[in-house]
A = this chain, B = another copy of it.
């Protein structure tokens, strides 16, 4: 290896950087003219060597920090125009970019959102006095003001104004502030629909980046969606006119007697909610009138609605690809920026370990010295001791790897004495055998059938009998033995590293807890007993398609959760509006004059000598507090019988209330269609991927192997010793000791991380990615050549194409 001959270049590299951190440039202008001195720090002609070296080191630290910030921006897809431009901004940036600050942001936003639980109309148990909740609100708003001021300090006023999301947030904050004060002064709540805007505080949180992306994607999918929606509504209007002409002569038909009714009922029919009732009066009079409804449903429901899905799916697909592309190019640009800050004038062809280590100290402070070096080695594809830009492009793929020394032992019990070893080895073989697996599947299946039959026999009565059924104990024992065998045979670490085993483990644990609950008669925990059938899920391991589906499900989970959260945000807005307008509007027997009276009826009448309670229950679907509103909105999302809720509210308020429900339907339709499109896209993508890589499907994650020799470790220890980093030195020395113990000259390390969607996309678009890169660098080149004459006046980061940059340097 070449680097053993070049230790000096490798570890000692106080050359001056090609480009200096923008924070330093500002210092220069303050101090005046010190730049030249630093610049020549490595030249022997310079004066006080020691002071200069420390100054140079300080400057390098600044460069590391700025490079780390660039890389973070690349990772988080933050635009570069928000990059902190001077030392003051840097301080604010650092203050606003750590988990403490993020948590504060999140908790303030949550506090604001949760306040609606306590504000009138409040959830009965959580009601707070007006003074209390208004004060809480003011407090939270003041925290938000503080956050925003930090952000302004970091961005500068100009950029702050230009940043749309922040501006919207500021406006909302202003409105909320005034309203909160008004509430405090008047000591009574007014109609505060603007509370619906509180979501923006949550959306703006750092942790809700996924929600922001979803919202953006939804808004981007809107234009084609609206086009098709118009087509849908257009046909609805045509059919409404037609239906009015055809059916209004029939006086027993309440659905088409006015044009408004005709429109509303056809809108509801679009959701199929009033079918076949809406057809029945005309069908009873003339059987052929069903043609009208069949044609309407075929066109609207079966054709245009699917068309809607197709259009959204297509747009979604396209947006996903474009998003991936822009993210990829953004990361690339970030890497270029960081690279330029890390190379020296003396050796412009790559980054030395010293500087790379400095970067990682800022980028990933938790990373230990060994991992830093392994990351460096993993990046370095060439034989030189420098990481070239081409290698550095893989930064994001490599930096996420978790490194572990490859164990020479195959099983955890290899070190045990012979007899124990043989026993454990036997268990290991047993546990891994097909016979064992299929026996367990059979047991699970028998258990499933048992539970089903048992439940079926048990018609009513007290099924939580005092004595524990023996079958429960038998099956639980079998599962317990299996768990024990597997843990001992595979070793706890390997056992729990598989998701399926983890699932088995937790289900068995739950079953055991359930048994305890039964045995010790703890009523509140009975629900655990009921979870027993979940055991059956294990059967789905058997078939590859199910494994695929469940794996994809787990991969999708974060994305699904963020989509769910997005939906909840919409729910929140609508819940607030609904509460402001419809709180307390529906109650038992409220709507006796409307067409849906039955559903709201609550009668307690006597037939013979028995009291019969006739309950319509629909009065429970109200907007009386935010929890009720959420349930009601979920019912509206499911769509079935939503018109009963709508008509109930409408009969108590005005006709215009229908707009609220219709708009909600359309909004959820958009979000739901996008969720469907997303699930479709994810699965189809995954299936395509599996089809493309049928051979390599079994590996679950990205794995990299790197060998480190003892000499290298010693070399790095030297380096750390010089910069007097005690913990790092100690860590590394441990590795040397380990090597000495086993008498090895080198250790093999394995880097591992789970595969992300981005990795899959990388592989799927392999061919196109090269094209994008070329196009990107061409574009940048032309941009640079355009900017060149005015480059000095432009304070923002200069995009510099790579090819050009190497020309400049060489």
Contact = CB atoms under 8 A, between A and B. Distances in A.
Interface of A: 224, 227-228, 231, 234, 237-238, 241-242, 244-246, 248, 252, 257-260, 272-277, 280-281, 283-284, 287, 290, 294, 297, 301-303, 306-307, 309-311, 313-314, 317, 451-452, 455-456, 459-460, 463, 527, 529-531, 533-534, 536, 540, 543, 545-546, 549, 553, 560, 598, 613, 615, 617-618, 620-621, 627-628, 631, 634-635, 638-641, 672, 675-676, 679-680, 682-684, 687-688
A640 B640 contact: yes
A771 to B, nearest CB: 15
A287 B672 CA distance: 25
Q: Majority SS of interface residues in chain A?
A: helix
A270 to B, nearest CB: 11
Copies of this protein, total:
2
A680 B277 contact: no
**Ordered nearest first, which 7 A-B pairs have the shortest CB separation?**
A280-B617, A310-B683, A272-B640, A238-B533, A306-B679, A276-B635, A245-B530
Given A530-B245, A640-B273, A302 B257 contact: no
Nearest to A553: B303
A313 B680 contact: yes
B241 A306 contact: no
A452 B281 contact: no
A237 B533 contact: yes
Contacts of A451: 241
A280 B620 contact: yes
A621 B460 CA distance: 34
A283 B533 contact: no
A257 B456 CA distance: 11
A310 B451 CA distance: 32
B241 A533 contact: yes
A532 to B, nearest CB: 8
Contacts of A280: 615, 617-618, 620
B536 A257 contact: no
Contacts of A260: 456
A351 B533 CA distance: 72
Contacts of A456: 259-260
Contacts of A529: 245
A283 B231 contact: no
A83 to B, nearest CB: 35
B237 A549 contact: no
Given A283-B620, A456-B259, A615-B284, A276 B242 contact: no
Contacts of A530: 241-242, 245-246
A122 B277 CA distance: 26
A641 B277 contact: yes
A676 B309 contact: yes
Nearest to A260: B456
B640 A275 contact: yes
Contacts of A683: 307, 310-311, 314
A540 B231 contact: yes
Contacts of A675: 302, 306
A548 to B, nearest CB: 10
B620 A284 contact: yes
Given A244-B455, A280-B620, A455-B244, A684 B231 contact: no
A455 B228 contact: no
Given A533-B237, A549-B231, A680-B313, A284 B638 contact: no
Contacts of A294: 634
A547 to B, nearest CB: 11
Contact of A307 (B224, B281, B618, B679): B679
Contacts of A301: 638
Contacts of A259: 455-456, 459
Tell me which of A540, A613, A634, A639 has the highest count of chain B C-beta atoms within 10 A of its own C-beta: A634
B543 A281 contact: no
A530 B241 CA distance: 8
Nearest to A691: B318
Contacts of A276: 621, 635, 638, 640-641
A281 B675 CA distance: 30
A638 B273 CA distance: 10
A284 B680 contact: no
Contacts of A679: 303, 306-307, 310
A524 to B, nearest CB: 13
Given A280-B615, A314-B683, 7 more contacts: A231-B540, A245-B530, A275-B635, A276-B635, A277-B617, A302-B672, A309-B676
